[in-house]
Chains A and B, each alone.
Chain A
Amino acid sequence: MTTLVQIHTESFEPKIVGFLCNWCSYAGADKAGASQTPYPPNVSVIRVMCSGRVDPQFVLEAFHRGADGVMILACHPGDCHYKEGNYRAVQRHRILLRLLEQFGIEKERCNFDYVSAGEGDKFVRVITEMVSTIKALGPLRLAVPAE
């Protein structure tokens, strides 16, 4: 039994949806690409103009559709291309975590972080850490079956 679980965890490749703002985080991901630093392929990127566009329902929908984790990456405080969209995003994220916990979704599955256009190395680090966190948590199992 123990062996079976272990095998399962090792072969588990989490599906993670990453919302990246166009101006900082997406550019940070490009920077990581330009320096050709490898990182796990588990995060699929959705580009939004601003992290402030990330509606909490997108996150819920991603979990509902089978995502094991969701990331929202924003400009650093004070650097938002739209002045304060990242502040809205971080506020929503904090409230969203409380809701997720009520659904039994661990808060580690929904990560918010700041990645600037110059931080290719930080992008690689947050992606790598998120993938290993979700691998450790295992697949998301929702009490209500998905459609």
Chain B
Amino acid sequence: MKVGLYFCTCGTNITATVDSDKVIAELTAQFPESYASKVEFICSAEGKSFFKDDLLTHRPDRVVIAACSPREYENTFMQILAEAGINPYFMQFVNIREQVAWVTPDPAEATQKATVAIRSAMARVCLQLPLEKKELEANGDVLVVGAGPAGLQAALFLAEGGRKVVLVEKSPAIGGMPVFFEELFPTMECGPCLLEPFEEQVLHGDYAHNIELLLLSEVTAVTGYYGNFNATIRQAPRYVGHTCIGCGMCVEVCPASASNPFNCGMDEKKAIAMPFLGALPNFPYIDPQACIRTSGGDCQLCLDACPMPETVLLDDKERIVERKIGAIILAIGSKLYDCSKLTGLGYGEVPGVFTSLEFERLASSNGPTGGEIKTAAGSAPGSVAIIHCVGSLDAKHQPHCSGICCEYAFKFNRILEHKLPGTKVYHLYKEMVVAGKSDFTMLEHAQKNPHASFIRYKDITEIKITAAPDGQKIAYRGANGQEESFTTEMVVLCPAMVGSDDAAKLGEMMDLSRGPAGFFDDLNGRLHNAQSKVKGVYLAGTCQAPMDIGQATGRAMAAAGYVLSGLAAGKKLVIEPISAEVDEERCSGCRICGNVCPYKAISFIPESETSRVNALLCHGCGTCVAACPAGAIQGNHFTNDQILAEIEAILQ
């Protein structure tokens, strides 16, 4: 086999210690069919031009370049090989500068070390196989799960980019968590005012035709892989058709009612009801749990009251929707840590102890009290204790800081100051976090409130909240170690954010790993935090980590960016040739490979009882190759034969 050896002297960088003539003489003697060329700077324009012309003249079977680190120029020279009509994988790049000449002062030693390194490359290169990049058709459509700010932003951004988006939302309205909040930190911006124009874009904007919105829906199965996923979605019946004009006449006549989830169960809603006042899309749904018909009644008052024909659909049925997509963006949000796990705080037992979400509803004009903040007894509270870090920064509960709780706690301070001037506000905190360029203003305002006090506690498990005649008694140990207590008329708990129950379900369905707090793991926290560990599945918003609305929509744009660049129109997916391949004849079906693959790229084929590598998902690490007890997996470009040839040549 004719190996072309190109020896770069790198000026005198290499030849100052390595005797190039001696190396070349020894190796051309060992590989008699080969030839060698000495180049002064092979990476220069002249060097590269010479290299290409020389390849065309000599037409070698394989090429070895002895120069600097392959980490710098390997790709460049592979491209030149391809330009010269030689398979780019017929090349080895030997590092005789960084790893020989520059670190071996003795010329005899350096010359010997370089000879060995080049010899092993020449032995290996003879066994290298021609490899080709393969291309695969990919679907550019996207499934977005969750229609909160992150999901809406991603869907809209993709739709504007011409992508078809299937937007799946489990609730009957879009908007996600901020629809629960009347005002948003740090500017006390009106939540609905921020969201509604944005929601309108998704529903009726110029690109809305690219978004298929499926409400009351959940993803039940996902198969396939990046570029070619299949999703199954189950849509529950709404019992109200799209011809609804949102007049609410059906709601007025409905005789059945049930606890209202929008107000955290603090009031009731009708069996047929708008999701909430101001919900988009603005039409009602029937809660089958509450409807008289579900328990056999023959009520149809809603249908009779409706002025539109065929709009109340009492026989509406569940739909199963199948969609083909190329990528998936999860924007399913998070949930609050269960405050009843901190037994001393009296949540669910002591009257007047609320979660932050419940307080948001109490303070909202479309809430259970019409925006009047009231104690359990029904009067305006003269004092409110806001407890920060509930279940956060605590090894027994959640070790992380959710990063947004202090800010909304100070928002509550402002709401109280505004709505109930003179109300005493106690902030009990373990740590105070208000990072960011504008977020400190929330703290500043709270500190300026003359009725606010700030109390640092030592350990939340030492806080005991008990019922008192006019409210609650709070006993705690201060950061200074002193035991103290006071009474208040309302308590608001600010719990840690944790991964949602749906994250657990979707995680299992799609093989997505989750951290201890239940958030989806990202591929890399610094570089790829909007990308999950499964290729083609991206993460936006608080399903990945605690974050505020601005951060969530930012991640949504990042997730959408991956899709727009990775699955660009007319662009095929490239399958890198350095991947693993199973020889099904030799595979015993033990599945060890599948267990060690970090990318879930290996699946078991039940029909043949063998494993198969999906080259699109394979990153070419070779861990499965080393793990296979039957030697049935080939690691392309790093085959056993090639590596063994290197070993043999080194030790010759």
Q: Which residues of A contact B (CB under 8 A)?
A: 15, 17, 22, 26-27, 29-30, 32-34, 36-39, 41, 44-50, 52-58, 61-62, 65-67, 81-85, 88, 92, 124
Set of chain A residues within 8 Å of B69, measured between Cβ atoms = 26, 30, 33
Assess the A88–B627 pair: CB atoms within 8 A. Answer: yes
A84 to B112, CA, bound (A): 36
Assess the A92–B71 pair: CB atoms within 8 A. Answer: no
Q: B620: which of A27, A49, A83 is its contact (CB, 8 Å)? A: A49
- List the 5 closest A-B pairs by CB distance, nearest first: A33-B98, A53-B622, A52-B623, A82-B621, A50-B621
Assess the B650–A54 pair: CB atoms within 8 A. Answer: no
B612 at interface by CB-CB < 8 Å: no
Q: A53: which of B95, B533, B621, B646 is its contact (CB, 8 Å)? A: B621
Q: From B102-110, B463-471, B502-510, give the one contacting chain A.
A: B102-110
Set of chain A residues within 8 Å of B320, measured between Cβ atoms = none
Q: From B82-90, B360-368, B397-405, B637-645, give the one contacting chain A.
A: B637-645
Assess the B120–A44 pair: CB atoms within 8 A. Answer: yes
Near A by CB (< 8 A), chain B positions 93-123 give: 95, 97-100, 102-106, 109-110, 112-113, 116-117, 120
Assess the B71–A26 pair: CB atoms within 8 A. Answer: yes
Main secondary structure of the interface of A (DSSP, over half): mixed
B605 at interface by CB-CB < 8 Å: no
* A58 and B103 contact, Cβ closer than 8 Å, known pairs A17-B650, A49-B638: no
Give the interface residue-count category, chain B: 35 or more
Near A by CB (< 8 A), chain B positions 30-81 give: 69-71
Set of chain A residues within 8 Å of B598, measured between Cβ atoms = 82-85
Assess the A37–B103 pair: CB atoms within 8 A. Answer: yes
Set of chain B residues within 8 Å of A41, measured between Cβ atoms = 100, 103-104, 106, 109-110, 112-113
* A88 and B620 contact, Cβ closer than 8 Å, known pairs A36-B103, A67-B651: no
Assess the B619–A82 pair: CB atoms within 8 A. Answer: yes
Set of chain A residues within 8 Å of B627, measured between Cβ atoms = 88
Set of chain B residues within 8 Å of A53, measured between Cβ atoms = 621-623, 625-626, 635, 638
A26 to B70, CA, bound (A): 10
Set of chain B residues within 8 Å of A15, measured between Cβ atoms = 650-651
* A34 and B102 contact, Cβ closer than 8 Å, known pairs A48-B643, A49-B620, A58-B644: yes
Q: A46: which of B112, B622, B650 is its contact (CB, 8 Å)? A: B650
A27 to B621, CA, bound (A): 16
A141 to B598, CA, bound (A): 39
Assess the A65–B648 pair: CB atoms within 8 A. Answer: yes
Q: B102: which of A36, A45, A54, A65 is its contact (CB, 8 Å)? A: A36
B336 at interface by CB-CB < 8 Å: no
Set of chain A residues within 8 Å of B112, measured between Cβ atoms = 41
Residue of A nearest to B124 (CB): A46
Q: B643: which of A46, A50, A84 is its contact (CB, 8 Å)? A: A46
Set of chain A residues within 8 Å of B117, measured between Cβ atoms = 44-45
Near A by CB (< 8 A), chain B positions 605-638 give: 619-623, 625-627, 635, 638
- Residue from the set A41, A66, A67 with the largest chain B CB neighbour count within 10 Å: A41
26 A-B pairs with C-beta separation under 8 A: A15-B650, A17-B647, A30-B69, A33-B69, A33-B97, A33-B98, A34-B98, A36-B102, A36-B103, A37-B103, A41-B100, A44-B113, A44-B117, A49-B638, A53-B621, A53-B622, A58-B647, A61-B648, A66-B651, A67-B647, A81-B621, A82-B619, A82-B623, A83-B598, A84-B623, A85-B621
CB distance from A73 to the nearest CB of B (A): 13
Assess the B623–A85 pair: CB atoms within 8 A. Answer: yes
Set of chain A residues within 8 Å of B640, measured between Cβ atoms = 55, 57
B305 at interface by CB-CB < 8 Å: no
A15 to B113, CA, bound (A): 11
Assess the B99–A52 pair: CB atoms within 8 A. Answer: no
B547 at interface by CB-CB < 8 Å: no
Assess the A44–B71 pair: CB atoms within 8 A. Answer: no
CB distance from A112 to the nearest CB of B (A): 14
B578 at interface by CB-CB < 8 Å: yes
Near A by CB (< 8 A), chain B positions 210-227 give: none
Q: A38: which of B105, B533, B578, B620 is its contact (CB, 8 Å)? A: B105
B249 at interface by CB-CB < 8 Å: no
Set of chain B residues within 8 Å of A55, measured between Cβ atoms = 625-626, 640, 643
A125 to B533, CA, bound (A): 35
